[in-house]
Structure 1
Amino acid sequence: MQSKLETKRTGAKGFKRKRYWIPSVVLILIIGFIGVGTQWTPKITVFLLKSLIETANPDMNNKDTMLSDGITRVVDVLYADEGRNDSTLDIYYPSVTSEPLPVVLWVHGGGWVLGDKADITEYAVQLAKQGYVVVSMNYALAPDTTYPTPVIQTNQALMYVKNHVSEYQGDPDNIFLAGNSAGAQIASQTAAVVTNPSLAKLMNITRVAQPDDLRGVLLFCGPYNLSTVAETGFPLIRTFLWSYTGVKTFEDYPRLNEMSTVLQVTAAYPPAFITSGNVDPLTSQSIELAQVLKRLDVDTETLFFSNSSEKLGHDYQFDLKSDAGQQAIRSAVRFMQQYSR
């Protein structure tokens, strides 16, 4: 009798040990699957990154964000005839104005895999308060859509702005192209398409604007030499460019040179305002682009905070409560005032 009881107790303990052991094995298998999977496709890493960001910022794409008095916002305007659900834009402008206003077409950042046009709402409102029409566009995200689709879409958005921005108090002859992070790369390349006929031909893009149609570009914290960008150590840059190019070893991608703005700019490139934080890993890329433009005698204004004791990271400009953020937006506005018609 005692022997049977001991056997039963021993069996119960063994069952308990198995009960805790099984979830551990499942967890190990899941981690192993993710680890192996990330070597075959960037989609797993991108999915996990998106999930993490959405969990940390559940209201980041809330369209009910309060706007300042006197600013009108029109959302989800379709800019391309194809009717893609990512070919939409939001427009911010002063509700009352006596004359057509300069226009800023903004391309959001997010490593070509993340982000939304609503991300810059606060910044767009502040620019609109300064007397600008701000057009914030969406574009197809990698890895589901790869290069060069976002550049083609930005070209389409530029055409929409030229044809329709007058309906929103904007001046179609006073357009600035802007972007942050990966959006700065897309914006800078689109400006190169407009001003470099050889690049437009190479990419098989019909230019919708003439070089003089772009009054300037405003480039915040972007990568502009994709052959060397991995050397900056920017977090997840290999995953981002694997997603965008579709090639894991993206340095071998045959179209990498046409994506590198430093190799495609000409003397016809529009005046440029280029800025990046002093501890942003991508700042060396901004410095390189500025140097190339200056050698071509393109009017170029820079803001790099090299002598600042404040540590300014990636996309520092969106912190409008900081002195650096305020300096950046003042400098950007001053730049646009200088080059507006």
Structure 2
Amino acid sequence: LTASQGKVDLDVVYRKIGDLELKMDIYRPAESSAPTPAAIVIHGGAWIEGKRQDMAGFASELAKRGVFATTVQYRLATADDKAPKRHYWPAMLDDVQASVRYVRAHAKEFNIDPKRIGAIGLSAGAQLAMLLGTTDTRDTKTDFYPKESSRVKAVVEFAGPTNMEKDIPEPLVFLYKAVMGDEKPKVAAQIRSMSPILFVDKKTAPMFILHGTADTTVPVIHGRNMEAALKAKGVPHEAVFVEGAGHGLEKPEAIAALFRSVDWLRDQLKE
């Protein structure tokens, strides 16, 4: 039975960086006397485009299932060399990690259980969600809720790149320059830091993988390799590979799996 959704709060500023305000849209579940689970919902767009509103549907579905959900804005890189203000990796990771710490720090106010926070992401957003499930705060010198952990308890990833060291289609190589500031990053460590598969260990959060076998943007090998890495470390996971689906996951079987993944996340975040 689907519960009804509660209040929606748009344009909540969760962090200020200089004169930049980073915002989130909050989708609350129906009133609950007990603290509810929460989920960070992360948009895709190759780290250079996309917006938090793209994921409103997922946040709403989670709220209807009793999960406090928030779609988050994060700093984006740009492919425009003349852009006055440019953001490079790891700004995107630092922002989504900050959003988790913000939600945790406001657990009482939001009536959520800080131990039951998950993440769901699409494409580049899936890569960020996976890093929330495999690593903790990168910026150890941060003064933004430094006592809170950025780790999440469960991850749903749709068509995310899992290893930036290989299996990246030629057209996407321009991203290295846009996102990292260099076509052949001088620092291999930077590419490693973008590759969630390299951080999989026994502590990794349970994961739901959904990938189309005909994805030419992020080849399905990314999802299959992640499934193998999770299996090797004994991490609970579910993987759905939809035959013939592309990066947009538009096939009916993919859409059915999207709904299943939202149920899966809710179940993972139960007490």
Q: CA deviation at 1:72?
A: 1.9
Higher relative contact order (CA 8 A, sep 6+): 2
What is the rounded CA distance, in whole Å, between the counterparts of 2:70 and 2:265 in structure 1?
18
- Give me the TM-score of the superposition, normalised by structure 1: 0.68
Matched letter for residue 55 of structure 2: I
Instruction: Say if 1:215 and 1:340, in contact at 8 Å, map to a contact too.
Output: no
Name the structure 1 match of 2:198: 263
Question: 1:295 pairs with 206, 209, 232, which one?
Answer: 232
Name the structure 1 match of 2:7: 72
What is the rounded CA distance, in whole Å, between the counterparts of 1:85 and 1:75 in structure 2?
17
Matched letter for residue 329 of structure 1: F
CA RMSD of aligned residues (A): 2.6
Q: 1:117 aligned to 2:38?
A: no
Q: Which residues of 2 match residues 302-317 of structure 1 at below 5 A?
A: 302-305=239-242, 308=243, 311-316=244-249
Name the structure 2 match of 1:322: 252
Q: 1:215 aligned to 2:153?
A: yes
Identity of aligned residues (%): 26
**What SS class does the counterpart of residue 160 from structure 1 fall into?**
helix
Q: 1:284 aligned to 2:221?
A: yes
Q: Which residues of 2 match residues 158-237 of structure 1 at below 5 A?
A: 158-194=100-136, 200=138, 204=140, 209-210=148-149, 214-230=152-168, 232=169, 236-237=171-172
Unaligned runs of 5+ in 1: 1-67
Q: 1:131 aligned to 2:73?
A: no
**What SS class does the counterpart of residue 48 from structure 2 fall into?**
coil
Higher mean displacement: 262-271 or 331-340: 331-340
Higher mean displacement: 265-274 or 106-115: 265-274
Greater fraction helix = 1
Higher mean displacement: 324-333 or 135-144: 324-333
Q: Could you say if the C-alpha distance between residues 190 and 86 of structure 1 is closer, same or farther in structure 2, counting changes exceeding 3 Å?
A: farther
Q: Could you say if the C-alpha distance between residues 158 and 273 of structure 1 is closer, same or farther in structure 2, counting changes exceeding 3 Å?
A: same
What is the rounded CA distance, in whole Å, between the counterparts of 2:76 and 2:147 in structure 1?
23
Instruction: Say if 1:185 and 1:261, in contact at 8 Å, map to a contact too.
Output: yes
Higher mean displacement: 282-291 or 328-337: 328-337
Q: CA deviation at 1:205?
A: 5.8
Instruction: Say if 2:124 and 2:160, in contact at 8 Å, map to a contact too.
Output: yes
Matched letter for residue 15 of structure 2: A
Greater fraction strand = 2
Unaligned runs of 5+ in 2: 79-85
Instruction: Say if 2:162 and 2:222, in contact at 8 Å, map to a contact too.
Output: yes
